[in-house]
Structure 1
């Protein structure tokens, strides 16, 4: 079994579109993936720098996410998933706030990827000692960018 890539964390918020998505069979080698978990654990990212996610819109189902992964034989497989993204006004508002907080931290010299990780940690209800330390340093400087 191949190790789960870091991109698989992104897939955790997705769920299979319907029961007929699984079992999924590779047309090239015949390998069968009994469940969504099998699919993600026994396939590989297309490339390390690509998530394999593609958003599409369906008139009946709404926003879907196509998930492309490679079978161990090298063949590319596709599974359709529903997006669990909150497209309500409050969901859009939370994303704007997240983006604003991210921009603020970057303005004060925090590396984007690390700031994003820490903001996601807080958004999921965890404590971030790193964000608390950054806040202390920014506050001590009087919130002046770059100082």
Structure 2
């Protein structure tokens, strides 16, 4: 799986979680862009399967990203609903790429989150995921973008 495939999977999934509303104040988020603009991100995205080093869980625990609504209610977006086989591919990518790039899983998952957020905001510019460190292994050839 490539960086681009991981970002596309995550972006499509999180876009599909909308519209939704805040359970406390009823604030309406029409799409992921509105949610990003109108909430305040809290901490790092947590992948419970990665934390357990479970790269092919039969019943994935998934990942969660928390944000506060302007009313103060903490809301969460999760990976629940991503097909298990697809999620396994993403988890293997995290395992393989953290080693290859010499970064921690929190940093790599955060970079995916940041790229999904950039795309949802419509920047149009694909900035990519955490680069390889200087002097690190050569990157794998990327597939041409469609």
Tell me, yes or no, whether TM beats 0.5.
no
TM-score range (shorter-chain normalised) is 0.3 to 0.5
- Of the two structures, which has the highest relative contact order with CA contacts closer than 8 Å and spacing of 6 or more? 2
TM-score by length of 1: 0.45
In terms of Rg, which structure is larger? 1
TM-score by length of 2: 0.45
